[in-house]
Amino acid sequence: MVGIKDQTWGIFPGFNKTKTPVFGSLLNQSILNKFSKTAGILLNAGVPVIESMNLIGKIVSNRVYEVAIGDATEYIEMDLI
């Protein structure tokens, strides 16, 4: 597929995966589980919130969640400044 490598078009396949009837729910739960476990480990280890969010954004397996975590990180940074 031509547009998949592009940052913008890369979101659509991830979005479609999260909306499938059975597997979408499992995928969402899996991604949120990975997010929660990783956040807990990093924050308990003393890693700052912003750095933790940046790391978590890199390890999630779905572009939609990666973008959402990046947006959330930006909002947190603006609030902390």
State how far the Cα of 35 lies from the Cα of 39, in Å rounded to an integer: 6
Which stretches of the chain are DSSP H helices? 11-18, 23-44, 49-59, 63-80
Model pLDDT, residue 62:
84
Residues 6+ apart with CB under 8 A from 24: 17, 18
pLDDT tens per residue across span 1-55: 444 444 544 544 555 556 666 677 888 888 899 999 999 999 999 999 999 999 9
| pTM, to two decimals | 0.69
The two tokens of residue 28 are: 């969402």
Contact 57, 73 (CB under 8 A): yes
Query: What's the pLDDT band for 81 if we cut at 50, 70, 90?
Result: low
For the stretch 54-68, pLDDT in tens is 999 999 878 888 999
